Chain A
Amino acid sequence: MLCASGHLSPFFCARWEYSLGLRTPLYDLHVALGAHLVDFGGWDMPVNYGSQIEEHHAVRRSAGVFDVSHMCVIDLRGARVREFLRHLLANDVARLTLPGKALYSCMLKDDAGILDDLIVYFLGDEFFRLVVNAGTRDKDLAWIRARAGAYEVTVSERTDLAMLAVQGPEARTRVAALLAPSEAASALQLGEFFGADIGAYFIARTGYTGEDGFEIMLPTAAATGLWRRLNELGVQSCGLGARDTLRLEAGMNLYGSDMDESTQPLESALSWTVAFEPRERAFIGRAALEGVRAHGEGRKLVGLLLADRAIMRSHQRVITPAGAGEVTSGTFAPTLGRSIALARVPAAGAVIGATVQVEVRGRPLAAQVVRTPFVRHGKALV
């Protein structure tokens, strides 16, 4: 048996050089917990602590905790911050009227190519918080800094914060059990996609698994203690392997795999994140995106489900009656017991229920085009 004769997910890059990767405040704890660590975009991150499939099931059935401290928190302040973000982002922060409410958005280039996907929180009249991807942090910060000055917005990268995601049907109650009574009540009262400062933490009811739960931003020195207390309450340590199978089952895109600067939102299953109304809002990439929309079909990102006992993986060719496309993300879905994928195909081939051929390890296998998400509230939808 030779290792890796198939495609490795872009997640798992071999480290051949001897340099140190970037480390989160939880690195020593991951080592102490016996994590299998790999390079992820320049960061030494845990892929799994034992069985990644068991970690996945723990999140669907009870609760798991993930280190997401490699992601980048950016605080934006100024009298014109809302105006700035209505220009910067393809989704419209004018939709955020209640304090603490968050929005998922793309940040586009002028040609409508996607620079990144992110979450933006409305925390005050002159204060918004962004959370952007680890692999794009330098690019995103440079882009934002170059444009914020014109609106007199200050940009502050919060390197003083670590971030833990606690996800699963029991996640919120486990976190609340670690808080003082009044803080616990505030945390449990958070609506979906709301965040707030609660005690020493910023707690948001957001996540990347398709389950309920919290993402918690906290001072770096407090991260290890919180993780250990969560473990003591039975919350499973979970790595990037489980994170990937969970998010794909939930139909959530991964930047760098499912979209990048060469793709625009309408061909990335992200039309719903672009606010074309009101028409006067001149967000970066609007004109180009309207041109694409007027031009018609192009390509679509769809879900695929494989019946055969094999696994679809990134870059495998997809043959549809309307022409060829490509798998953008593929994996084994533990909650379904079979392989799922997202694939970018000619729009005329993106027909729910249709059968397409996916070239898996040289053989064409039949896959069904399905709606995403594949799993919701822990149950299969396909």
Chain B
Amino acid sequence: MSNVPADLRYARSHEWLRELADGTVEIGISDHAQHALGDLVFVEAPAVGRTLAAGEACAVVESVKAASDVYSPVAGEVVAVNEALVKAPELINQDPYGAGWIWRLRPSASPAGATLLNAETYAAVSAAG
């Protein structure tokens, strides 16, 4: 049973999105995703300043088992990247919704308009496998 915080929104491809008070959004991968991947050892995050399209593959998380692309849930400009993941990629395993955040974006459109799943729907989708 994986953790799916109710205050976040989710993509089918297992990314989560949190709206921050300053209008930016914070993005990472879900508890379901980190559990499926196992121990993460390398994280390649997008460069600050890069413009992303919604659904664009822009990061890679690599575990001992496999590498996986991470897709941006919404379009925007990358404003920050979690530098702690360079030395401690396991933060994603330990705290996928907190210290394991991967990048922050200034979205090009209001996130309210994005077709993302709420927690209940994502929980059902990811449980179904």
Chain A residues engaging chain B, CB cutoff 8 angstroms: 1-9, 12, 36, 47-48, 51-53, 241, 245, 309-311, 331-332, 361
User: How far, in angstroms, from A91 to B41 measured CA to CA in the complex?
Assistant: 39
Does any Cβ of A come within 8 Å of B4's Cβ? Answer: no
CA distance A77 to B70 in the complex (A): 58
Q: Specify which of B15, B61, B65, B93 is in contact with A8 (CB 8 Å cutoff).
A: B65
CB of A33 to closest CB in B, whole Å: 16
State whether B64 touches A5 (Cβ < 8 A): no
Given contacts A3-B33, A309-B42, contact A245 B64 (CB under 8 A): yes
Question: A239 CB to closest chain B CB, in angstroms?
Answer: 10
B68 to A, closest residue via Cβ? A1
Q: Shortest Cβ distance from A333 into chain B, in angstroms? A: 10
B71 neighbours in A (Cβ, 8 Å): 1
Apart from the given pairs A1-B14, A309-B42, 5 other A-B contacts in the complex at a CB distance below 8 Å: A3-B66, A6-B62, A6-B68, A36-B38, A52-B64
Q: When A and B form their complex, which 9 residue pairs have the shortest distance between CB atoms, in order from nearest?
A: A6-B67, A53-B39, A6-B66, A309-B42, A1-B70, A332-B41, A1-B68, A1-B14, A4-B66
- B69-A1 in contact (CB<8A): yes
- When the two chains form the complex, which single residue of A36, A52, A311 contacts B62, counting CB atoms closer than 8 Å? A311
Are A3 and B37 within 8 A (Cβ)? yes
Chain A residues whose CB sits within 8 angstroms of the CB of B37 once the complex forms: 3
Contact of B67 among A9, A36, A361 (CB under 8 A): A361
Q: How far is the CA of A361 from the CA of B69 in the complex (A)?
A: 11
Q: Which residues of B contact A361 (CB under 8 A)?
A: 67
Closest to A51 in B: B39
A1 touches B33 (CB 8 A): yes
Minimum CB–CB distance from B109 to chain A (whole Å) comes to 22
Report yes or no: A310 in contact with B42, Cβ–Cβ below 8 A. yes
B interface residues, tally (CB under 8 Å): 24
Q: A8 to B64: give the CA distance in the assembly, Å.
A: 9
Chain A residues, Cβ within 8 Å of B116? none
Contact B39–A52 (Cβ < 8 Å):
yes
Residues from chain B with Cβ under 8 Å of A12 in the complex? 65
What would be 17 A-B contacts, judged by CB atoms less than 8 Å apart?
A1-B15, A1-B29, A1-B70, A4-B65, A6-B67, A48-B38, A51-B90, A52-B64, A53-B41, A53-B90, A241-B64, A309-B42, A310-B42, A310-B62, A310-B67, A311-B64, A311-B67
Return chain B residues, CB-CB under 8 Å to A245.
Answer: 64
Say whether B41 contacts A311, CB under 8 Å: yes
List residues of B whose CB falls within 8 A of some A CB.
Answer: 13-15, 29, 33, 36-39, 41-42, 44, 61-62, 64-71, 90, 93
Total A-B residue pairs with C-beta atoms closer than 8 Å? 66
State the Cβ distance, B80 to closest chain A Cβ, in Å.
19
A358 to B13: give the CA distance in the assembly, Å: 29
Q: In the complex, what distance in Å separates the CA atom of A48 from the CA atom of B37?
A: 12
In the complex, which residue of chain B has the Cβ closest to the Cβ of A52?
B39
**Within the complex, which residue of A1, A2, A9, A309 is in contact with B65, where a contact is CB–CB below 8 Å?**
A9
Residues of A within 8 Å of B90, CB to CB, are 51, 53
Across the interface, B64 reaches (CB within 8 A) one of A1, A2, A36, A331, namely: A331
CB <8 Å contact, B66 and A52: no
- CB of A248, distance to nearest CB on chain B (Å): 11
Nearest residue in B to A308 (C-beta to C-beta)?
Answer: B42
Measured between alpha carbons, how far is A36 from B39 in the docked complex, in Å? Answer: 13
Q: Which residues of B contact A53 (CB under 8 A)?
A: 39, 41, 64, 90
> Does the CB pair A51–B67 fall under 8 Å?
no
Bound-state CA distance A12–B37 (Å) is 12
Taking CB atoms, residues of chain B closer than 8 Å to A2 are 13, 68-69
A340 to B29, CA, bound (A): 27
Residue among B41, B65, B66 with max Cβ neighbours from chain A (10 Å): B65
Contacts of A8 in B (CB 8 A): 65-66
Complexed CA–CA distance, A47 and B65 (Å): 11
| A1 to B33 alpha-carbon distance, docked (Å) | 8
Q: How far is the CA of A9 from the CA of B67 in the complex (A)?
A: 11
Check if A241 sits within 8 Å of B33, measured CB to CB. no
Closest residue on chain A to residue B62 by CB atoms: A311
A3 x B36 contact (CB < 8 A): yes
Once bound together, how far apart are the Cα atoms of A164 and B75, in whole Å?
52
Q: Are B67 and A5 touching (Cβ within 8 A)? A: yes
Known: A51-B90, A241-B38, A332-B41. A7 touches B66 (CB 8 A): yes
Residue of A nearest to B34 (CB): A1
Task: Tell me, in angstroms, the Cα distance from A293 to B64 when the chains sit together.
Answer: 37
